[in-house]
């Protein structure tokens, strides 16, 4: 049966699996079609690190044999997907997005890829990323072995970092879903910039064995997909304890939308200042409509702001200290000078000079942050805030270009949820919620640890009431 039409490339992973189960197409046909599209369009956006055509077609044929004998392994079986190029896959390079590692390979697959392979999902490509997952600091979108990852909605704009290839390929219909990683924003940002759904799991819920480490106590791996439902299905497949990851929480996850609570049971904190003042002026109309939708869902909306801590400085100190240790030999041998971003080179070199007392002080304050959030969520289920303040950056613009300075009297609000949530190890879900100047904007819900099902329930309800997740870019 021939694969034709754009609709299939923008179907959700759940829809692709359902079509395969019904016999509408074989996994081999679907995989070939996605491979052709990924190999053709992916390089135009600097989004593809490596095609895995031979491995993928072999896997797809195995999956089709399962269907013939009705051996169904899960809701991702037969679905082509991509993985950020910091996840190891045997027999192929795992470059970490950086020139010094362009021929690096590993004998064992990353645990998350092993789990997806067992579920019958078909890995078709390793996806571009910012070099070394962006750590500890970079200035330009071009800080990648493949060049700046271009946004499918506007190729003069960035796809976001550091899981840029994952965001761009899902948005462009080049993969059925993707895996990304987040240390401080690298799932949420590209998902918001590219107009897709992305889930940052609770710290420790998903194994990082076989993934590049940037910060042992901050790194997380999670799904990036077309829908909130897909994110839940993917998390179900990849979560779970793993002795190979010493930071594993040893917990599993079962996606259970059928047991969701009524929306009126959820208390959701929001801050009017986020929507009225913190976001860029050109995005405020879109965000105002988003807030109206949430207020109309029956949620108990309460005003709040984040506990008062220097979240950005704490993340920077912890990340610098851990990255300096992880990349110590890389820095000492001078290989660091081969990176594509001068500021990132300088930051890695200077990170080793961080006093141990500063790192330890940051970790002590981090414990206070976690205790403060435990109190915050005692009588509140989740927070609601814009994912980012504005639209995707211009590729030609440095990432540290100054924005409008905040007014002195502006309240704290909840807009700092990305560094705050990563410090505390909290789960967060971002969803597309509108457009500004033809570019997507996203909204985030964040909750206490291991409360992913609540986030997914609220996210599913939002996507039942809106169609932003169904919009798709027009590709040249």
Q: Is 84 a catalytic residue?
A: yes
Q: Is 162 a catalytic residue?
A: yes
- Among residues 84, 114, 126, 142, the one annotated as catalytic is 84
- Phi, psi (rounded to 5 degrees) for 143: -75, 65
DSSP 145-167: TT-PPEETTEEEEE--SSSHHHH
Contact 203, 248 (CB under 8 A): no
- Determine the Cα–Cα distance for residues 173 and 11; give it in Å rounded to an integer: 8
DSSP 377-444: TTS--EEEEESSSSSPPBTTS-TT---PPPPTT---TTTTHHHHHHHHT--EEEEEEEEETTEEEEEE
Contact 263, 458 (CB under 8 A): yes
- Determine the Cα–Cα distance for residues 110 and 351; give it in Å rounded to an integer: 28
- Among residues 27, 162, 197, 248, the one annotated as catalytic is 162
The DSSP 8-state label assigned to residue 42 in this structure reads: G
Give Cα separations from 11 to 105, 158, 172, 257, 418 (angstroms): 32, 24, 11, 20, 29
Pairing label, strands 428-436, 300-303: unpaired
- Among residues 186, 197, 248, 447, the one annotated as catalytic is 186
Question: What letters, b where the CB count within 10 A reaches 16 and e where it falls short, cover 320-359?
Answer: bbbbbebbeebbeeeebeebbbebbbebbeebeebeeeeb
Q: Active-site residues: which are they?
A: 84, 162, 186
């Amino acid at each position: 049966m021939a694969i034709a039409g754009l609709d299939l490339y923008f179907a959700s992973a759940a829809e692709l699996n359902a079509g395969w189960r019904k016999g509408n197409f074989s996994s081999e046909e679907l995989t070939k079609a996605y491979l052709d599209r990924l190999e053709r369009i992916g390089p135009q956006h600097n989004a593809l690190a490596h095609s895995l055509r031979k491995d993928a077609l072999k896997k797809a044929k195995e999956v089709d044999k399962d269907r013939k004998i009705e051996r169904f392994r899960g809701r991702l079986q037969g679905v082509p997907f991509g993985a950020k190029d910091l996840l190891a896959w045997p027999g192929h390079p795992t470059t970490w997005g950086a020139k010094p590692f362009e021929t690096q390979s590993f004998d064992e697959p990353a645990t998350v890829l092993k789990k997806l392979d067992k579920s019958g999902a078909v890995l078709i490509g390793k996806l571009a990323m910012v070099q070394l997952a962006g750590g500890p600091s970079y200035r330009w979108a071009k800080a990648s072995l493949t060049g700046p990852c271009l946004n499918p909605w506007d190729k003069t704009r960035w796809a976001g970092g550091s899981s840029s290839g994952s965001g761009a390929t899902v948005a462009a219909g080049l993969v059925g879903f993707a895996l990304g990683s987040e240390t401080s924003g690298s799932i949420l940002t590209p998902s918001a910039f590219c107009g897709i759904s992305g889930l940052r799991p609770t710290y420790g819920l998903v194994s990082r064995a076989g993934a590049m480490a940037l910060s042992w106590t901050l790194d997380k791996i999670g799904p990036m997909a077309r829908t909130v439902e897909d994110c839940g299905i993917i998390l179900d497949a990849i979560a779970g304890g793993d002795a190979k990851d010493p930071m594993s929480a040893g917990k599993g996850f079962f996606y259970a939308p059928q047991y969701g609570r009524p929306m009126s049971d959820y208390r959701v904190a929001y801050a009017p200042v986020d929507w009225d003042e913190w976001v860029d002026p050109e995005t405020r109309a879109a965000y105002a409509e988003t807030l109206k939708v949430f207020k109309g869902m029956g949620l108990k909306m309460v005003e709040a702001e984040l506990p008062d801590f220097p979240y950005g400085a704490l993340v920077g100190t912890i990340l610098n200290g851990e990255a300096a240790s992880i990349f110590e030999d890389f820095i000492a041998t001078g290989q660091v000078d081969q990176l594509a971003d001068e500021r990132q080179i300088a930051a890695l070199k200077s990170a080793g000079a961080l006093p141990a007392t500063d790192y330890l002080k940051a970790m002590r304050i981090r414990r206070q942050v976690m205790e403060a959030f435990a109190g915050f969520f005692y009588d509140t289920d989740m927070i609601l805030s814009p994912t980012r303040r504005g639209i995707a950056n211009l590729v030609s613009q440095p990432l540290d270009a100054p924005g409008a300075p905040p007014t002195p009297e502006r309240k704290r609000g909840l807009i700092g949820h990305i560094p705050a949530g990563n410090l505390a190890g909290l789960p967060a879900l971002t969803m597309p919620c509108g457009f500004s100047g033809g570019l997507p904007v996203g909204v985030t819900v964040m909750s206490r640890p291991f409360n992913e099902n609540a986030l997914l329930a609220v996210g599913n309800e939002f996507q039942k009431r809106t169609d932003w997740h169904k919009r798709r870019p027009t590709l040249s």
